[in-house]
Amino acid sequence: MEQGGQRIGPINLEAVRQMAASGRISAGDLVWTEGMANWQRADTQPWFSGGGAPPPQLAPMNPADSGGLFKGGEAFVQSEPPSLLVWSIVVLLCCCIPGGVVGLIYGNRAKKEFAQGNPQAAWAAYETGKKWLIWSAIIGVVLNIIYFWAKTTHNI
């Protein structure tokens, strides 16, 4: 599971059921276990609402699918990356138009990938967009400082 930017897991089935019952796993969170072709929404799983039978077989996730971050255990939950929309707009308006546009593109790509059940690609797109926005903001601030310094010292 991923909460607050930190990955948590593996989680056994009973713990997943308890987390779902207490609201710590929301309907839109993605889960995976061996036998699933892709990550799936939690609300599509029989254990989510407390009814139905558990998945037929829970086994460790293939470490190759996770970059080796999860080893052993039974169930996995992945949350959606945060939106980059607000930061992209701020960078567009205040600092650097190209960086803001790239942030918007990668933010939309992250949403699309997550909706298609590919959280690893979604988080990769989010991280790329975030890096572009951070560097664009830094460059924009530095250029503005240089501009205002030059304007005040040379009376432009």
In this prediction, residue 8 carries a pLDDT of: 59
- Count CA atoms within 13 Å of residue 40 on its CB side: 16
SS3 (DSSP) at 154: helix
Per-residue pLDDT tens listing for the chain (156 residues): 544 444 556 777 777 777 777 777 777 777 777 677 777 777 787 777 643 334 433 344 444 444 333 334 445 567 788 999 999 999 988 878 888 999 999 999 999 988 888 888 888 999 999 999 999 999 988 988 998 999 998 875
In this prediction, residue 86 carries a pLDDT of: 92
Q: Are strands 6-7 and 2-3 parallel, antiparallel or unpaired?
A: antiparallel
pTM above 0.75, yes or no: no
SS3 (DSSP) at 97: helix
Query: What's the first-to-final CA gap in the chain, in angstroms?
Result: 55
In this prediction, residue 9 carries a pLDDT of: 65
